[in-house]
Structure 1
Amino acid sequence: MTPDLLLALALFCAATLFTPGPNNVMLMASGANFGLRRSVPHLTGVAFGFPLMTIPVGLGVMQLFDLWPPAQIILRAVSVVYMLWLAWKIAHAAPPKDREAEARPLTFVQAAAFQWVNPKAWSMAFGAVTLYATGRDLPAILWVAGSFLALGTLSALTWVTLGTWVRGFLANPDRLRVFNWTMAGLLIASMVPVLFL
């Protein structure tokens, strides 16, 4: 990969990873509700899960949608149902006094698996592989995955940290409830541009 193409890829990764989307909304909510330490599995699941998803996408999963168009409709339906369930969980997160006993952030595996039903992740993977893994050879796909891993880790840490910064303010149960409902609404809203374009 040439330096110019690598710089363009890094800019693409930064623009797509740091902007609000399902992962970032959930990471911020996790930071606010559980703090940085308890959110580390969620954070690492996102940081590693998406780059790992781009490898099979680049090696041929994209062609499944060309060969069998209903697969895209099925993926969208599963994505909507799962994201609505996650939004419900965020909106109904336990208040601070009950949080430790009942609520838990996403695990590494849950956060990594979420990438496969995240419409923004699919759009990012398709775009990156199409634009920057020309020829779809394994080294080019690994450059894409590595770029997403490096910048995705920084992005995930940034969003969880933003959540932890507002945690003290959200110690009030009413403020936390408003925050969680707002994050749930933003998660639902984040599906609209990707699902209906």
Structure 2
Amino acid sequence: MSLELLLAFTLFAFVTSVTPGPNNMMLLASGVNFGVRRSVPHMLGISLGFMVLVMAVGLGFAQVFEQIPALYTTLRYAGAAYLLYLAWKIAGSGAPDSNSSERQLRPFTFLQAAAFQWVNPKAWVMAIGAITTYTPQEDFATNVLLIAGLFALINCPSVGLWTVAGSLLRRWLDEPRILRLFNIGMALLLVASLYPILVDVNGSL
């Protein structure tokens, strides 16, 4: 991979990782509700789970989707449905010391966050874009592994900014009523984040 291509990919990885999307909306809400420390497994799950997704796309899944377009469509809408479920859970969550159940107060685990990447429409768009645009065909398998590793390294601190931003907002959201309104707002933004992603994938809804 040439230096020019590497720099271009680095910029692509940063911009796509740091811009609003389902992962970042959830991390912002997690930072507010649980703080940075309890959200670290969520952050690591996103980055490492996404790295595995990029490797899978590069080493075969993209060809599968070309042969069976309906599989990609099914995955996309299953992801959208799961995001709507998560938005509903976020909207209904309260402060950590509220009367909500312990299960509702638990942040995403590493495995939950990693598995979520497989139904996250934005993650698929990012992975396919990285493989088709920035991965040289010469020594392709090695370049796929390089792209996946670099994406994870860039992705983790990028999404972490949203967690930190959420934790900094905690002092302003001590009032349960204000925190509830914030969570509802995050849930609505999570739903809104689906629209441009689905349009980009399919051209129309």
**Common fold: TM-score over 0.5:** yes
* Residues 96 and 171 in structure 1, CA contact (< 8 A), matched pair in contact too: no
Matched residue SS, 1:46? helix
Residue 162 of structure 2 corresponds to which residue in structure 1? 159
Please provide the CA RMSD for this pair: 1.4
Q: Does residue 132 in structure 1 map to residue 159 in structure 2?
A: no
Residue of structure 2 aligned with 1:150, choices 146, 150, 153:
153
Shift of 1:100: 8.3
Distance (Å, rounded) in 1 between the aligned partners of 2:126 and 2:42: 20
Residue 169 of structure 1 corresponds to which residue in structure 2? 172
Letter in 2 for 1:142: L
Distance (Å, rounded) in 2 between the aligned partners of 1:106 and 1:88: 15
Distance (Å, rounded) in 2 between the aligned partners of 1:82 and 1:104: 18
Q: Which moved more, 1:162-171 or 1:99-108?
A: 99-108
User: 1:100–1:166: structure 2 CA closer, same or farther, 3 Å change rule?
Assistant: farther
* Residues 9 and 147 in structure 1, CA contact (< 8 A), matched pair in contact too: no
Distance (Å, rounded) in 2 between the aligned partners of 1:137 and 1:68: 23
Q: Does residue 191 in structure 1 map to residue 186 in structure 2?
A: no
Residue of structure 1 aligned with 2:119, choices 117, 120, 125:
117
Distance (Å, rounded) in 2 between the aligned partners of 1:41 and 1:166: 20
Distance (Å, rounded) in 1 between the aligned partners of 2:29 and 2:62: 31
Q: Does residue 81 in structure 1 map to residue 81 in structure 2?
A: yes
Q: Does residue 37 in structure 1 map to residue 13 in structure 2?
A: no
Matched residue SS, 1:168? helix
Q: TM-score scaled by structure 2?
A: 0.92
Residue 102 of structure 2 corresponds to which residue in structure 1? 101
Matched residue SS, 2:170? coil
Partner deviation per Cα, 1:150-193 (whole Å, 9 max, x = no partner): 11111122111000000111111111111101110111111101
Distance (Å, rounded) in 2 between the aligned partners of 1:141 and 1:93: 39
Q: Structure 1 regions of 5+ residues with no counterpart?
A: none
Distance (Å, rounded) in 1 between the aligned partners of 2:54 and 2:63: 13
Matched residue SS, 2:97? helix
The number of residues matched between the two structures is 197
Matched residue SS, 1:112? helix
* Residues 94 and 176 in structure 2, CA contact (< 8 A), matched pair in contact too: no
Q: Structure 2 regions of 5+ residues with no counterpart?
A: none
Shift of 1:97: 1.7
Distance (Å, rounded) in 2 between the aligned partners of 1:107 and 1:33: 15
Q: Which runs of 4+ in 1 moved over 2 A?
A: 98-102
* Residues 43 and 156 in structure 1, CA contact (< 8 A), matched pair in contact too: yes
Partner deviation per Cα, 1:8-40 (whole Å, 9 max, x = no partner): 000000110010000000011000000111111
* Residues 34 and 96 in structure 2, CA contact (< 8 A), matched pair in contact too: no
Letter in 2 for 1:137: F
Residue of structure 2 aligned with 1:180, choices 154, 172, 183:
183
